[in-house]
Amino acid sequence: MNIIIATDSFKGSDSSLNIAKHIQTGIQKVFPDAVITKIPIADGGEGTVDALVWSMNGTYKTADVFGPQKERVRAKYGILPDRTAVLEMAEASGLLKTDPAKRNAGTATTFGTGQLLIKALDAGCRRIMIGLGGSATNDGGAGFLQAVGISLKDNNGNELGPGGLALENLKTIDVSGMDPRINEAEILIISDVNNPLCGKNGASEVFGPQKGADPDMVKKLDSCLMHFANVIKEQFGKDISNFPGSGAAGGLGAALLAFTNSRIRPGIHAVLDAVKFDEMLKDADLVITGEGRLDSQSAQGKAPVGVSERAKKHNVPVIALVGEIARGVDPARLGLNAAFSILDRITDLRGAMECSGEMIERTAEQVMRLLLIGQKMRRR
C-alpha cells in the first residue's frame, strides 16, 4: 500500500512534520510494509517555511528584525534549492511574537516583514514566496513599505509612525527611495484569505478583533485603511480597496499588490504545487491529511480541502484526522472520504494539546485497522 501523509500543523500543539511522524507510526503498527511518503504542508500561515524547507531540502536562515511593536525578534526564513526564498510574515509580524499584554492592533507594524524581505534579497534571492497568516498587524502593509524604502509622509512632511491608526495622517507616498531590487523580484503571495482591504468583509472588521481591536478601534482602522487606499489610488491609479486578498494579514496583501511585482495564490495550492503533490498522487493508494479543526472555514482554502481537491482528480481517497470536527460540518461535502476526530477522552483544550501526538498515533492505527477489516471482507 502506497500512502501519502499530507497534514497541516495543529496550531498551538504540534508541527505538521511531527504529526506526520505520529501518523506514520500508527500506520506501521497495522501495515508495517506500507510505503509512506510524508509531506508536511501549510496554507500560508505558521509552518509554511518548515513545510517547504523540509519537503524540498531547503536551508534555514535567521535574521534579527523588528516585531509587531518594534521589539527585537529573531525570525527564520527558508531558501529552496532553486534560490526561492520562503518567508512567513508570522515570523516577524505575528501574534505569537508579541506578549499578549502588549498587543495593540492600532500600533502593530509590518516593518519586520519588510526587513525580512530585504534579507532575502541580500541573500541573492529574486523569487520570493510570502505566507500571509498569523499576523498581529492591521497597518495595510505600511510598515513593510517603510522597511523597503518607501516614505509615507503627513501634511508637514514628517514620516508616519508605526501602525494602522497613523495612516489617518497620510498625505503623500514617496517611492523614490524604494530598494531597486524590489522591482527585480517576483513575489508570490500565499494566503487562504480572500477578504478585501476595507468594508464589512475587510481586514479590520473581520480580523481586527482577533488582534485586540475593540469595536471603536475597528471602525477607526477601517477608515484609516480606506484613506490609505484612496491616497494610493490618487497617486498611482491603483484601486486596491476591494481587490480579493488585499485584506490578508491586516492589509499587507494590499501593499504588496500595489507596490511590488506580485500575484496572490491560495496558500495550500501554492504549497502543493511547490512540492509537486500531483506527481506524487499518481502512485498513491490513499492520502491522509489533517489539521487542528474542520469547520465552516475549511472550504475557504484550508489544507485538508485543498488536498482532497487534488486527490479527487486522481481518484485517490482521502481520510482526514483532525482535532475537532465542528458541529454541523459534513466532511463528505468538503470532498473528504472520511474524517475522524483524534479526541478519545473527555478533556479540556490544554489536555488535548498535551496528548495530541499520542491521540493522533492511536487514531491512525485504528483507521488502519478498519481498512484491514475491509480488505479481509473483500476477500471472503
Q: What is the CATH number of the domain that holds 351?
A: 3.40.50.10350
pLDDT score for 348: 61
Tally of residues, the chain: 380
Cell of 24: 506514520
- Rg of the chain over Cα atoms, rounded to whole angstroms, equals 22
Neighbours of 156 (CB within 10 A): 7
Do 16 and 89 lie in one domain? The reply is no
pLDDT score for 349: 62
Domain boundary among 233, 267, 301: 267
Phi, psi of 166 (to 5 degrees): -65, -20
Do 318 and 212 lie in one domain? The reply is no
What span, in angstroms and rounded, lies between the C-alpha atoms of 81 and 77? 14
Do 318 and 339 lie in one domain? The reply is yes
Query: Roughly what angle, to the nearest 10 degrees, separates helices 215-236 and 252-259?
Result: 0
Q: Of 224, 228, 240, which is closest to residue 106 (Cα–Cα)?
A: 224
Do 30 and 58 lie in one domain? The reply is no
Q: Of 146, 142, 139, which is closest to residue 165 (Cα–Cα)?
A: 139
pLDDT score for 73: 95
Q: How many domains in the chain?
A: 2
What span, in angstroms and rounded, lies between the C-alpha atoms of 109 and 142? 7
Domain that holds residue 361: 2-40+276-379
Do 193 and 217 lie in one domain? The reply is yes
Do 142 and 103 lie in one domain? The reply is yes
- CB contact burial 210-222 (16+ within 10 A = b; e otherwise): ebbbeeebbebbb
Do 298 and 355 lie in one domain? The reply is yes
Cell of 62: 535567521
- DSSP one-letter code for 360: H
Measured CA to CA in angstroms, residue 135 lies from 63, 105, 247 at distances of: 18, 10, 12
Do 258 and 342 lie in one domain? The reply is no
Give the E-state strand segments of 175-222 in sequence order. Answer: 186-191
8 Å CB contact between 160 and 154: yes
pLDDT score for 350: 65
Q: Of 205, 176, 178, 185, which is closest to residue 193 (Cα–Cα)?
A: 205
Q: Specify which residues 190 forms β-bridges with.
A: 131, 265
Sign (positive or negative) of CA dihedral 258, 260, 265, 267: negative
Give the residue ranges of DSSP H helices in the chain.
Answer: 16-28, 48-55, 89-93, 111-122, 142-147, 203-207, 215-236, 252-259, 267-274, 277-281, 303-313, 349-354, 356-379
Q: Of 106, 8, 120, which is closest to residue 75 (Cα–Cα)?
A: 120
Domain boundary among 267, 295, 310: 267
Do 18 and 153 lie in one domain? The reply is no
| Cα-to-chain-centroid distance, residue 142 | 20
pLDDT score for 175: 98
Do 192 and 255 lie in one domain? The reply is yes
Do 217 and 330 lie in one domain? The reply is no
Single-letter code of the amino acid located at 288? I
pLDDT score for 161: 97
pLDDT score for 351: 56
The per-residue pLDDT string of the chain (380 residues; one tens digit each, 9 = 90 and over) reads: 999 999 988 776 678 899 999 999 999 999 999 999 999 998 888 889 999 999 999 999 999 999 999 999 999 999 999 999 999 999 999 988 888 888 899 999 999 999 999 999 999 999 999 999 889 999 999 999 999 999 999 999 999 999 999 999 999 999 999 999 999 999 999 987 889 999 999 999 999 998 999 999 999 999 999 999 999 999 999 999 989 999 999 999 999 999 999 999 988 999 999 999 999 999 999 999 998 888 767 766 688 999 999 999 999 999 999 988 888 888 888 899 999 998 876 666 665 556 667 889 999 999 999 999 999 888 87
Q: Is 9 helix (H, G, I), strand (E, B) or coil?
A: coil
Do 11 and 127 lie in one domain? The reply is no
Q: Specify which residues 36 forms β-bridges with.
A: 3
Cell of 264: 496572490
- CB contact burial 301-340 (16+ within 10 A = b; e otherwise): bbbbbbbbebbbeeebbbbbbbbbbeeebebeebbbbebb
Domain boundary among 216, 238, 267: 267
